[in-house]
């Protein structure tokens, strides 16, 4: 029905993107000039900056998946252990668990936030359950207190997948400032980026010290040498490690990005509020209620009514120069993670989720154009009915 209309917007409004400036370029140039690109003093500087930001220790790694993997290993998880995690999350959450030979147990989501449904997770606890991995979907922490109460009752470690939530405020502190073990991603489209990269934040110093070794192939106490541009030539290894350390190139970008977190956060919140303002009047979609004075959204998903064909709306928006996404296909539908677990909320909504563009370089005018285009689609939809 939309093909008869001329394309109004010649440029493409991207779903997500990095936002970089000359400052990141200059930082990279300094690292290159030093002719040392691996893990060195810049990584230490970035870790120190993150530690100051969270008011507790942070350890940097090569990406968010590695952060989750190492956190689980450092907690002693092994083959056959079970980890509770929502099915609607990026594949990385499940892969980090199965990489250890542990078993991700697919759980349902809360319909209001698309975060972990604690009631469902509780029903899936067995004698093999060793950890719970709440995913802060879209920047929301969900049933945070209930998750920790559940973990305390059943003696579970909590590994927070906070890849979407850098900058979000929880209990008057930044996500990562409290909680058991909190993992972040700094890939190219996250709230801040280091090109790739991630970090683990915790008050458990034994866990963090173990992670420091594990990220460097298990070489004991190699981090301190690397920080000063050296390597350990006489060393010992006591367990399986991985090449998961961050490079100075990544850290140089991350240092600059972290200094921009306030303006990045405020812009994302402002854009999300504008979406809410315009789209809340549309009877064909539902919005996820979030307090954008506290939540810093990584993505902006909407929920389409049952009688709406998502693909038709996506094609219409592409025709208007607007990219969209789907966050995410449920992991228990994937061949490798097939599960017979009943997840009624997940099954009811996963084909109705649509993610709209959200990144720092969008303007309020862009949000108005995107929102009005969606409303125009539904005006056509009403006429066709």
Q: Taking 50 as the threshold, does the pLDDT of residue 6 lie above it?
A: no
Q: Got the DSSP string for 294-310? A: T---S-EEEEE-TTS-H
Asked if 194 and 249 touch (Cβ cutoff 8 Å), the reply is no
Domain annotation covers residue 253: yes
Range of the domain at 366: 261-384
359 and 251 within one domain: no
Domain annotation covers residue 16: no
Average pLDDT over residues 351-360: 98
Judge if pTM exceeds 0.85: yes
Percent of the chain having pLDDT more than 90?
92
* 8: confidence class by pLDDT, cuts 50, 70, 90: low
Dihedral class, residue 50 (left if φ above 0, else alpha if ψ from -120 to 50, else beta): alpha
Asked if 226 and 245 touch (Cβ cutoff 8 Å), the reply is yes
Q: What's the rounded Cα separation, in Å, for the pair 214 and 208?
A: 10
Name the average pLDDT for the chain.
95
With a CB cutoff of 8 Å and minimum separation 6, the contacts of 123 are none
Domain annotation covers residue 50: yes
Adjacent-strand bridge partners of 198: 61, 185
Q: What is the pLDDT of residue 384?
A: 64
Residue 7 is classified by DSSP as P
With a CB cutoff of 8 Å and minimum separation 6, the contacts of 120 are 107, 108, 343
Terminal C-alpha separation, the chain = 12
Average pLDDT over residues 94-115: 97
Domain annotation covers residue 6: no
Domain annotation covers residue 15: no
Q: Taking 70 as the threshold, does the pLDDT of residue 383 lie above it?
A: no
201 and 284 within one domain: no
Domain annotation covers residue 76: yes
Residue with token string 């093999």: 128
At 148-175, the pLDDT tens digits run: 999 999 999 999 999 999 999 999 999 9
Q: Is 84 helix (H, G, I), strand (E, B) or coil?
A: strand
Average pLDDT over residues 297-324: 96
Question: Within 245-309, where are the H helices?
Answer: 248-259, 261-279
* 341: confidence class by pLDDT, cuts 50, 70, 90: confident
369 and 241 within one domain: no
* 4: confidence class by pLDDT, cuts 50, 70, 90: very low
Q: Taking 80 as the threshold, does the pLDDT of residue 290 lie above it?
A: yes
251 and 320 within one domain: no
Q: Taking 60 as the threshold, does the pLDDT of residue 79 lie above it?
A: yes
Domain annotation covers residue 3: no
Spatial CA neighbour of 117 closest among 351, 343, 349, 347? 343
Which of residues 259, 280, 311 is at a domain's end? 259
Residue 321 is classified by DSSP as T
247 and 105 within one domain: yes
At 9-28, the pLDDT tens digits run: 578 999 999 999 999 999 99
The phi, psi pair for 301, rounded to 5°, reads -90, 150
Domain annotation covers residue 117: yes
Tokens read off for 135: 């995913």
49 and 114 within one domain: yes
Q: What is the pLDDT of residue 11?
A: 85
Q: What is the number of structural domains in the chain?
A: 2
303 and 164 within one domain: no
Q: What is the pLDDT of residue 2?
A: 47
Specify the CATH number for the domain of residue 193: 3.40.640.10
135 and 53 within one domain: yes
Percent of the chain having pLDDT more than 70?
97
Q: What is the pLDDT of residue 302?
A: 98
């Amino acid at each position: 029905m939309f093909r008869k209309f001329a394309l109004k917007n010649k440029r493409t409004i991207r779903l997500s993107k990095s936002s970089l400036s000359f400052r990141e370029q200059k930082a990279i140039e300094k690292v290159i000039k030093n002719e040392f690109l691996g893990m060195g003093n810049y990584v230490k500087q970035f870790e120190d900056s993150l530690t100051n930001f969270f008011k507790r220790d942070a350890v940097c790694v090569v990406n968010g998946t590695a952060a989750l993997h190492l956190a689980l290993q450092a907690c002693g998880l092994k083959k056959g252990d079970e980890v509770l995690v929502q099915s609607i999350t990026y594949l990385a959450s499940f892969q980090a668990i199965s990489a250890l030979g542990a078993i991700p147990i697919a759980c349902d989501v809360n319909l209001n936030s698309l975060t972990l449904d604690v009631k469902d997770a509780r029903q899936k606890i067995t004698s093999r359950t060793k950890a719970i991995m709440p995913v802060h979907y879209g920047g929301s922490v969900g049933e945070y207190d209930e998750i920790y109460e559940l973990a305390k009752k059943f003696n579970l470690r909590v590994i927070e997948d906070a890849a979407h939530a850098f900058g979000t405020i929880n209990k008057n502190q930044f996500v990562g400032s409290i909680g058991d073990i909190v993992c972040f991603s700094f890939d190219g489209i996250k709230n801040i980026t280091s090109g790739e990269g991630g970090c683990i934040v915790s008050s458990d110093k034994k866990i963090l010290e173990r992670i420091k070794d594990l990220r460097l192939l298990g070489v004991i106490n190699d981090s301190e040498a690397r920080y000063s541009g050296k390597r350990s030539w006489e060393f010992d290894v006591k367990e399986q490690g991985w090449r998961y350390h961050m490079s100075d190139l990544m850290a140089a970008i991350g240092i600059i990005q972290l200094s921009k977190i306030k303006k990045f956060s405020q812009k994302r919140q402002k854009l999300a509020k504008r979406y809410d303002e315009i789209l809340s009047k549309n009877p064909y979609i539902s919005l996820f209620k979030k307090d954008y004075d506290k939540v810093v959204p990584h993505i902006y998903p909407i929920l389409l009514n049952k009688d709406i064909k998502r693909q038709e709306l996506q094609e219409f928006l592409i025709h208007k120069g607007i990219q969209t996404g789907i966050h995410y296909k449920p992991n228990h539908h994937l061949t490798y993670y097939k599960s017979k677990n009943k997840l009624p909320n997940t099954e009811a909504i996963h084909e109705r989720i649509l993610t709209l563009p959200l990144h720092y370089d969008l303007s309020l005018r862009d949000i108005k154009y995107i929102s009005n285009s969606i409303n125009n689609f539904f005006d056509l939809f009403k006429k066709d009915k």
